[in-house]
Amino acid sequence: MSVFQPGSPRVTAINLGIILSVLVVITEVVMIGVKVSDAWKIIIISGLSTFMLVYIFIYYMLKKLIINEIKPIYKTIKNIQLKSGDIDGNLDDINIVSEVNKDVQEWARHKAQEILHLKELERYRKEFLGNVSHELKTPIFNIQGFISTLLDGGLYDESINKKYLERADKSIDRLISIVDDLNSISSIESGELELEISDFDISKLIIEIVEQQEYKAESRNVKIEIEDIDKSIIVKADRRLLSQVLVNLIVNSINYGKENGKTIISMQEKDDKVIINVKDNGIGIKEKDIKRLFERFYRVDKSRSKEIGGTGLGLSIVKHILEAHKQNIFVKSIYGEGTVFSFTVSKA
């Protein structure tokens, strides 16, 4: 290892002091022509004095130079104002160049990650605004068209007036649904929504919601089955919000299920958790779509979504509600065969 390799100021000063001392001693011995037996006097007097002068000068000059260079670096990368004493005590114990280089590289990596995150947020913001605009525009234009037709004389045409009013009413309901879902997500994310935690029987809640959705399932020729829900299990959660999770998942499985298909709701206990599964034998989800499934307004099958309605916010709301409960949701799907959504709930 070379003695000139950058290190602490003390090591550098010692190395330079030794080299210059040796050069001075050799020069004096050669030029003066002293005997070898008297050379030790020159070594002691000239060598040591040169070494001490060089060591002191180099050591303190290097420390001053390094401190002056390092202070603005740390002010930039760590946003701290260092005093000379904060650095001075560590200079002799570390390879300062290596340490500063490591800190700068770490700072650069962190900044690169921040930039990527900001770019991702910007992409998400643009996509979100585009989706909101599109979702709101469709029902608004529908309402505008129906009302304009009625105002232009259709109001007195009994063959269309009631039909157009009903369609306008349906579009208004869709607008209200979108706004309500957006408010739900916003209140959960901002922490404004306070969970009303209580103990209740999850088995009874599942049976209650299944009964509520049976008419919708029959209208799409989908059969809802309940498995392994034959005993009372008390959980601790917000009953209203957990109902919303179950409704969203069951309705989703009905909407995207095959005709004459089925939706199976099952439950299993694991330690202090209950795992609830909502399984269908519907169209399934492609692997590339699964990671984006819980994004707002993201639709796997846009043509099916347009046909069945919905806001495109249901799964995003599900994820936010479960995260507010500090619970998890998982998805397994085989394209063309079906999908299973599983989520956890804490036992009471």
Looking at CATH, the fold of the domain delimited by 116-190 is given as: Helix Hairpins (1.10.287)
- Among 7-11, 94-98, 241-245, top mean pLDDT goes to 241-245
Lowest mean pLDDT among 53-67, 139-153, 261-275: 53-67
From-to residues of CATH 1.10.287.130 in the chain: 116-190
Lowest mean pLDDT among 87-101, 131-145, 192-206: 87-101
pLDDT digits (tens, 9 = 90+) for 251-309: 888 888 787 889 999 999 888 999 999 999 888 888 888 888 887 777 666 555 555 55
From-to residues of CATH 3.30.565.10 in the chain: 197-346
Q: Are 324 and 310 in contact (CB under 8 A)?
A: no
State the Cα–Cα distance between residues 334 and 336, nearest whole angstrom. 6
**Statement: the pTM of the whole predicted model exceeds 0.85:** no
Lowest mean pLDDT among 35-44, 167-176, 302-311: 302-311
State the Cα–Cα distance between residues 251 and 269, nearest whole angstrom. 24
| Mean pLDDT rounded to a whole number for the chain | 78
State the Cα–Cα distance between residues 325 and 276, nearest whole angstrom. 15
The CATH class of the 197-346 domain is alpha beta
Q: Is the pLDDT of residue 180 over 70?
A: yes
Percent of the residues in the chain that have a pLDDT greater than 90, as a whole number = 15
